[in-house]
Every structure is written in structure tokens, then in C-alpha cells.
Structure 1
Amino acid sequence: MPPTLASVVRNSSLHLTVLAGADHLERPVRWVHTSELDDPTPFLEGGELLLTTGIKLGTSTKSLQAYVHRLADAGVVGLGLGVGLSHTEVPQPLVDAAAQRGLPLLRVPEPTPFIAISKAVSAALAAEQYEAVTTSFEAQEELTRAALGQNGTAAVVRRLAARLGGWAALYDSSGALSVVAPDWAARRAARLAAEVDRLRRRPAPASAALQGRAPGFDTADEDFVVVQSLGADRRARGFLAVGTEDRITPTERYVLNAAVALLTLTLERSRELRHAEERMGAALLRLVLAGQVGTARQVAAGLFGGLPEGTIRVLVAGAAPGAERAEGEAPVHDLTELAERAEQAGGRAGEKLLVAREPAGKEGKDGKEGVAHGERLVLLAVDGGAVHRACLGAVEEHEGLALGVSAPAPVEEAGVAYAQAERALAVALRGGRRSVGHEEVGAGSLLPLLGEDAVAAFAEGLLRPLREHDRTARGDLVASLRAWLSRHGQWDAAAADLGVHRHTLRYRMRRVEELLGRSLDDTDVRMELWLALRSGEE
């Protein structure tokens, strides 16, 4: 702790007497400054014990009051007046003004040189700094040993909480609470979800400080809380929160910074290990999708404890077209974020999961070049499990991603499920939807599954001769064709719908054939004309 006015006064070798402000002697002294100026405030930073002989102070009550007010407003923690030179005793108006402002006023006797007070405070400040360095070094050693031990992140959090005399909590990159110490602080740590979520949207490292009843931290607890994101490449790998009864001291700040550095290194090291596991998991997933389930099962037994069991689903995620991020926000909507959330959900639930990234390319069959697509994420997860739910929740929560989900299937049919998920993703991207399941692809109309621009161009070109005829000649050929097709070629029913004789309708259909150069007896022609007519209704 820094020296206070009380500790300076208690130094018997200085022979100081408190004349005013005795209730404020616990203020820390950051420096001792001597000045005979009437207004020394331009040369002060706040926190000083100011010493003066009062040569230029004068004796008028007004000038002495103004002097005290200037010092108090500048953050001076105490005033020492040396007697015996310009003042035989401390002027009473000065004592009264100091008492009014709550500014401690010390009488410095003539035998006590100002330099002695400066030396005493300097020695105390040096001792404080030495103690801070020693304590910080000891804490860093202790935290480092904890980080290198078993379950290092949890150990660091527990040691940090003990060092600060408060509580500490660690959150994963999704904002979920993973470690808290002591156990009783879990309720307080959970209340920081909104603050952690705000930091998730900012590049790491970032921090926030708040007190118990600050906006957004609805609790009766009067903790002083600091939340810090953990990450080395602008992406938060986790978040650390600490709560203390009082504001953390500079020494405690060193301890906190050491914990942040160790946790960041631990998380980054864990990330590298996870990357290696991800590469092995991606290779296993490719084996499964290629139908080599037996081989994949043998390999997975030794590396991952086996493949997902029971009914599975394949999920394929891709970036939605035109997705934009708010300026200054971290990339929370991309495939990396989705993969991390899926893995965290699987880890918490104890579910097996296989994940692989597919680079941007062109999708085709039998070696033929197909439709271009961007980078995608492929996941094989337990049907209806935590990973499945987490992926659905992630794409619904954040714009920027679309998800295709296969039908439930055994692991042996993962290749078929993968093809289903790809088709479902294509429908989601084309229709501007967040997620589409395979069950939805085969339900409802065919039109939503087709590219809008392609269908519109096809319909406009096919029906153009009929529409040009209707604008310049008698007979509504487009309406007549729609009625005839909707009645499956039944002349009487279609004519009744139009309110014309069936011979009139027959004449119009022959005219349609002539203008289009196609036979209405051809089933494919009827289908194409019906799609063209329906596309104009969508």
C-alpha cells in the first residue's frame, strides 16, 4: 500500500501536528512537492503533499481561503505549513478554510526540514514499489506453476481468485461459463453474460470495468469487476472476469495481467492442439463420407474414442450471399465461429463430432466442372443432440451463414446424407433462408427450389409470342392456355372457366401452337408452359 498522511504523521522524527482535516488522513500520498507560489496548481498532478513556508500567502482571510480552494480542487491530499520563517504560527483563517474543505493541514515545526519529509515519503514509496515487484514476481511464479500443472486453466483461475481476495471466472469463446472460483461466485459470474457478449463483438484484446450496480450489471453486489478478452490475433479465445470488494491496486493489476498472459498462452497452445485434432477429424469425416466407415471406426477408436453412434445428421454450412458485418465488430458470423460453437457444445454434452472445412471450388459430378461455391463447413453430429441444436441456434442468431441439414441416417449412410445436406444448403442460399432441412426440400412447390432469375428469363422468352399477340390482337391466349392446362386439357371445363365456347378455346390453343412452334400434345411442353405461367404468379 502507498504511504498515507496518517503514516507520515505517525513518523515521530518529523514532529508533525494535524491542525485540520484529521478525518482524511488515510489519503495516499503519491509525492511531496514544495512550492512558495500563490498558485502552484499548474505544476501539480494530484495526490501530492504540498509543503510551503507561506511567504507569499499574505494574511487576509479571503486570500487564504482562495489558496486552500485551489489546492483542494487540484487534488492535493494535504498541506504542510512550515512555521518560524514567514509565520510564527499557522494563521487561523488558513486552519478554518482547510477544515471547511476537508483538506488535512499539518504544522511543520522549524527544526524539521522539508527534505526530511520528502525523504520519508520517498522511502515509503520505494518500499511500496519493491513490495509490488516482489509480490508480482511471486504471484507470477505461482500462476505459472499452476498453468503448467494438470487442468492448468482452472488452476490459474483458482490461484488468481485467492491472490485478489475475490472471485474469478473463465468463459469460453462462445461466452459460456467454464470455470469459476470460488464456487459461490457462479451466480455473480453468470450475470456478466451481456458484458461478455459485448466483448465478443470487439477485436481482442479488449476489456471493460464496472461496479456492482452499473448499467447492464443488475445485481445488489457491490463488486468491482474487470472483464478481459483473451486472444493474440484479434479473435477472442475466451474471457476472464474478476470481482473484488475494492478497486484493484497497481500490484493486483500486475497479478491480473500475468494471469491474462498465461491464460492466453494456454488457450493458444490448446488451440494448436485442437487444430491438429481438427485435421485428423476432417480426415476421418472424409473416410466416412466416402463409405469407408469400417476403417474410420478403427482409427477413431484410438484417437477420439469412436465415431458418433446411433442416428446422425450431416450439416453443411456456407456464407450467405451479401452478408455484411458491422464496422468494428469481430467476425462472429463466420464458419470458424460456427465450428467453435459446435465443438464447445459437443464437449459440454460429451457428444462425438466430426468436422471438416471444404475450400471454395466448383461442385460437379464425374469429374465435370459444376457450380461454384464458397468455403463450407461440414459436420457429422448426433441427430437432435447438443451440436445439432447449437448449429441451428447459431445460424438463426447471427446473419451471415446458411445451413443445410440432411435427413436422419445411420453412420453407414453418411455419404447419402451429405448429398442431402448439400441440396438443402443450395435451397437455403437460393431462398435467402437461414437453414433448410432435407425434409423441406421434397415438400411444397418445385418453384421455390429453382433459381428465380433463370426461371423468369425462361418464362419471359417462352411466353413472349403469346403476350405480344394478346397486346395487338383479339383473344386472350395466355389466360386461355392457363385455364386449359389447369383443367388438364379438358375442353368443356376450361371453356366454362373462361366463359367461351369449347370451339373458341380449341381455336385459341391451335393459335398457341402456331405461335410457339410446339405441340400441346407433348407432355414436356405442357410442363414447361405450366412452370412458365406459374413463375409469373410467384
Structure 2
Amino acid sequence: MTVAELMAIPHLGLQLIAGAAGADNVVRWTHTSELEDPGPWFEGGELLIVNGFGIPQTPSRQIEYLHRLAEHRLAGIVVSVRAPVLTDELLRAANQASFPILRIPRQVPFIELSYIVANANERASRDRLARHVGIYDTLRLRNTAENNVQAMYEQLEKVSGYRLALVTPAMSPLLVDWPWVPTDFELDLSDELQVVNGGYVVPLFVGRRVTAYLIAQEHVDSVPEGLTVLQHISTLAALDAVDVQRRREAEHRQNSTTLASALEQSQPTEALEARFANAGIEPEQGFRLLAFESRSSNDDFEIAIRDWLYDRARSHLMTSQGALVAVVACGDNVIWQLASDTGAKVGVSGMSTEVQDVMKLHRQAMWALTLTSQESENCVAFAEDHHTLTPWLNSDRNQIETLSVDTLRPVLEYDEAEGTELLHTLRLYFHNQGQLRATAAQLYIHEHTLRYRLKRITELTGRNLKSYRDAFELWLAVETSSTTLH
């Protein structure tokens, strides 16, 4: 039954006062509510009958009231003569939205209008029940040996009258066998049901987390069956979301073992390269190691990072080694987006094409992660941006010793040419924790002379001893030179 057919029943005396363009709206049921926002209690197609206690007084709030009803796809609203004055602004808004507003005479009880609609829709109600049963009948398609996902969702679309999409929070298909995703659709990552233009978005929970969304858009050539049908479908879709999480967890554990083996160097390089390739990481194309720290108390932090990468089809290996770490192949912009979306601090190693470099990359990423604590406004630190220290985080002892000699070369050459003891002075300065008086006494020189020597070291090396970073690098060079030069 349509709004126009109800209006044509003489003894009801319904008067259309706005929204005539919506007179062909189908009335599936009637509902009474005096709430100012009754929308969440509807599934679409209802005719709302009110005395008007919930209708606001002011034009702006009346328009908001109307838009909320129209958003939930009600067939229209019937108001009693007791309702507050319906403003001209409200009536214009109803005309623009093609949303029927009818007035019911005082002598007509609401229940009579409800009986008429119920009797007219009795057959439709039986058909709806049959469709609800048909939804669960599609489980046989899911439980067959072929597990025909495409056939199941095609049947669900036919039963529901909606075009269905099952998507990740990144708006990518959750299932390979059901890849349709609506175009020009902006997904709101909410954990509540959303009414959108032309349909609904139903969040799918696995445990306490929303891991996917069911998007239902009305078919042009179909009659949508409403929210109740979609809630039944979402129950089936949630089973697929659970299966996806199970597969991800199994693969996550396998990849964790692979990365742990690489960090411990417990397998031959060839075997590790094969396992990297099986996980989608091609070493020769370059990869990085990321170290993560949560910026909030998130119990599911590791799962959040894992799912973010999976949702965007980013191949990775992940494990916990002093911190949550992952091997990935991606650009800087992806890392920044990952940090922003998950609330993570990220330390980023340099790039490598050799699996045997994983231990070195781990040290670089862990060191870079410490830099994010020094800069509260910066949640990502790249080791390569701090090039003066990054080479020290190398596993090759010979390379570190060579780096030590190169760092101290200006001091060594000056000592040899001038007959001074700048290197010995620097070593004692560090040994005495930078205390000038103790160092000067041990060298049998005045503090002014010591300051002059330290200034000369700064000029020769280009490193400022008052900078923690520069002093740390000189300390590493001196410590390494203890075995290299003596």
C-alpha cells in the first residue's frame, strides 16, 4: 500500500500538507513514537504516526527532525491536530525532500490506520518471512566443499534487493571471490550502524573489534527489504570476517617464525630468502625493518598493525624482538599513514636487498625508534635521516673499525704532525664522564689548556662535544680505536 492509496480511503480523512512528490512511497508498516530522534528504531518504509510531542518548536530544529526521518527512509509522517505549528520552513523542506506530511483528523484513532496497513501488507509480511528464511538457506552454499562465495552473495543480493559489498577498513575487498566495492564511496570507520545515501553500512565485529563492513546499496530495479534483512545477512558476513581473521593469524605466526630466524641468523641465507619470498618479500627489490611502539594503551596494538598491512595488501613479516618489528617493502608515505592510522611510533631502518642485513636493520630501526621519544611531535623517525650515526649500527666489525679510524683521522694526523696528545686527551675526557677538573688533573694540565684541546678536537672533527649525538659518535670511535690503534 502506498501513501496515495491510504489518502484515497475516504473515512480516514487524511490530508496531505507537504511532500506530494513522495505520495507513491510504499508503506510497509506503521509506527508511533514521540521521540525527537526515533530514526534508529526504524528499518525503512514505516509510516510514523505522532501526536507531535517530539516535534520541536523552532524552524531549524523542525527541519533537522524531518531530515532524520527522511534519512531513515520512512514512507512519511502522519501528525495529529494536537501537533505544534508546522512551520513554513518545515513544509518547504518536506517538499524538497519529497517526504509526505499528512494530518489525521481528531476523530480517527491511530490504531485504525495501523490495522488498514497491516491487513493490506499481510501477504507482503509472509513474503518477507520467506525471504528471511531464504537468507539462512544460503548457508548450504557456504558449507559445501566448493564453498561458493560468489553464488552465496549473489543469492543474498537477490533476496535482499541490495547490492552488497564486504570491505576492509581500507575499502578493499575482504574476500577475493567477492571483489565488488562501490565507487566514490567514503567509508566512515564507525562501530555503529550507519544510514547512508541509498543504503546502509553495517559494522562486522570479531571479538571486540570491527574488522570489516557490510555495505548495502539499493538496486535501481529492486525493492529493498529493509534493515532487518540486512542484519540477518550481516550475521552470515561476520562468519566470513572471522574466517579471514583466522587465516591472517595462521600466516602471522608463520611469518613471525621466519623473521625471528632471520634476526637470530639460525638458518642459511638461501632458506631465509625462500621463506621471505613465500611471504611476498622479494629481497632484491629492497626492504626495510620497522620498529613500533604504541602511543596509547592498546591491548590489540599488534593486531591493529597486522590488519592495517593486510587490509592494504602490504606483504610483511612481523614478530616481537624487544619491540614489535616488521619487515616491509613500501614507501615513506605508507609508513607515515600507518603511524597516523594506528597511533604508532615508528622507527625506520635503511633500505637493504640482503636478508643477512636484517640484524643490522633491526639495530637501526630500534635506535630510530628511540628518536621518536625525543621529538613528541614526530611519530616516525628514519635512521637514514641521521646519517652520521646510522653507519655505526652495522654488524660488520671491520667496517666499524674502519669508520672509527676515518672519524678520528684528523685528530691522529694532527697529533702526528704537531706532537700533541689530542686523542689521549679525548679518551681520558670520556673516561672521566666529561669532568674537566678530573681530566685536567690526570693530564697534569690547567683546565684552560684542556678546554683549548677540546676546542681543537671540535674544529678538526666537525663534531660538537656539547651535542649528545656528536659526543656519542666520538665516544664510539674512541672506544673502537682502543682495540684498533693499540
TM category (shorter chain) comes to 0.5 to 0.7
1:407 offset after TM fit, Å?
A: 3.6
Which residue is 2:183 aligned to? 187
Aligned length in residues: 363
Task: Pick one of 456, 467, 485 that aligns with 1:487.
Answer: 456
TM-score scaled to structure 1, two decimals? 0.51
Alpha-carbon separation, structure 2, partners of 1:414 and 1:404: 12
Alpha-carbon separation, structure 1, partners of 2:273 and 2:137: 43
Task: Pick one of 269, 282, 293 that aligns with 1:319.
Answer: 293
Asked if 1 retains the 8 angstrom alpha-carbon contact of 2:29 and 2:118, the reply is: no
Which residue is 1:416 aligned to? 360
Alpha-carbon separation, structure 1, partners of 2:163 and 2:175: 11
Asked if 2 retains the 8 angstrom alpha-carbon contact of 1:459 and 1:535, the reply is: no
1:270 offset after TM fit, Å?
A: 1.8
How has the CA–CA distance of structure 1 residues 158 and 72 changed in structure 2, closer, same or farther, with 3 Å as cutoff?
farther
Query: Which deviations, in whole Å up to 9, do the C-alpha atoms of 1:252-309 show, x marking residues without a partner?
Result: 32221122112211111221122112111211222233331457459849x9377634
Which residue is 1:509 aligned to? none
Structure 1 residue 426 corresponds to structure 2 residue 370? yes
Alpha-carbon separation, structure 2, partners of 1:278 and 1:183: 23
Task: Pick one of 268, 277, 283 that aligns with 2:257.
Answer: 283
- Partner SS for 1:394: helix
1:122 offset after TM fit, Å?
A: 4.9
TM-score scaled to structure 2, two decimals? 0.56
Describe how 1:35-74 pairs up with structure 2 within 5 A: 47=48, 70-71=80-81, 73=83
- Partner SS for 2:200: strand
How has the CA–CA distance of structure 1 residues 464 and 414 changed in structure 2, closer, same or farther, with 3 Å as cutoff?
closer
- Partner SS for 2:324: strand
Which structure has the bigger radius of gyration?
1
Asked if 2 retains the 8 angstrom alpha-carbon contact of 1:356 and 1:377, the reply is: yes
Structure 1 residue 207 corresponds to structure 2 residue 190? no
The alignment-based identity, stated in percent, is 14
- Partner SS for 1:355: strand
How has the CA–CA distance of structure 1 residues 459 and 478 changed in structure 2, closer, same or farther, with 3 Å as cutoff?
farther
- Partner SS for 2:182: helix
Describe how 1:17-96 pairs up with structure 2 within 5 A: 21=15, 28=27, 30=29, 47=48, 70-71=80-81, 73=83
- Partner SS for 1:408: coil
1:336 offset after TM fit, Å?
A: 2.5
Alpha-carbon separation, structure 1, partners of 2:292 and 2:113: 70
Structure 1 residue 335 corresponds to structure 2 residue 290? no
Task: Pick one of 348, 352, 356 that aligns with 2:319.
Answer: 356
- Partner SS for 1:187: coil
How has the CA–CA distance of structure 1 residues 71 and 232 changed in structure 2, closer, same or farther, with 3 Å as cutoff?
farther
Which residue is 2:203 aligned to? 229
Alpha-carbon separation, structure 1, partners of 2:304 and 2:31: 53
Structure 1 residue 131 corresponds to structure 2 residue 127? yes
Asked if 1 retains the 8 angstrom alpha-carbon contact of 2:206 and 2:241, the reply is: no
What amino acid is aligned across from residue 418 of structure 1 in structure 2? H
How has the CA–CA distance of structure 1 residues 435 and 289 changed in structure 2, closer, same or farther, with 3 Å as cutoff?
same
- Partner SS for 2:228: helix
Alpha-carbon separation, structure 1, partners of 2:82 and 2:152: 43
How has the CA–CA distance of structure 1 residues 71 and 411 changed in structure 2, closer, same or farther, with 3 Å as cutoff?
same
- Partner SS for 2:216: strand
How has the CA–CA distance of structure 1 residues 123 and 459 changed in structure 2, closer, same or farther, with 3 Å as cutoff?
farther
1:186 offset after TM fit, Å?
A: 3.3
Unaligned runs of 5+ in 1: 11-15, 34-44, 51-67, 75-100, 109-114, 212-223, 326-330, 359-372, 447-457, 467-476, 495-525
Query: Which deviations, in whole Å up to 9, do the C-alpha atoms of 1:492-515 show, x marking residues without a partner?
Result: xx9xxxxxxxxxxxxxxxxxxxxx
Structure 1 residue 140 corresponds to structure 2 residue 136? yes
How has the CA–CA distance of structure 1 residues 5 and 283 changed in structure 2, closer, same or farther, with 3 Å as cutoff?
same
Unaligned runs of 5+ in 2: 33-45, 52-77, 85-100, 392-429, 439-445, 472-486
1:134 offset after TM fit, Å?
A: 1.1
Which residue is 2:5 aligned to? 6
How has the CA–CA distance of structure 1 residues 315 and 127 changed in structure 2, closer, same or farther, with 3 Å as cutoff?
same
Task: Pick one of 380, 384, 390 that aligns with 2:327.
Answer: 380
How has the CA–CA distance of structure 1 residues 312 and 183 changed in structure 2, closer, same or farther, with 3 Å as cutoff?
closer
Structure 1 residue 395 corresponds to structure 2 residue 339? yes
- Partner SS for 1:263: helix
Asked if 1 retains the 8 angstrom alpha-carbon contact of 2:173 and 2:180, the reply is: no
1:225 offset after TM fit, Å?
A: 3.1
1:236 offset after TM fit, Å?
A: 1.6
Alpha-carbon separation, structure 2, partners of 1:305 and 1:182: 23
Which residue is 1:344 aligned to? 311
1:343 offset after TM fit, Å?
A: 2.9
Query: Which deviations, in whole Å up to 9, do the C-alpha atoms of 1:483-531 show, x marking residues without a partner?
Result: 5522349xxxx9xxxxxxxxxxxxxxxxxxxxxxxxxxxxxxx99xx97
How has the CA–CA distance of structure 1 residues 264 and 338 changed in structure 2, closer, same or farther, with 3 Å as cutoff?
same
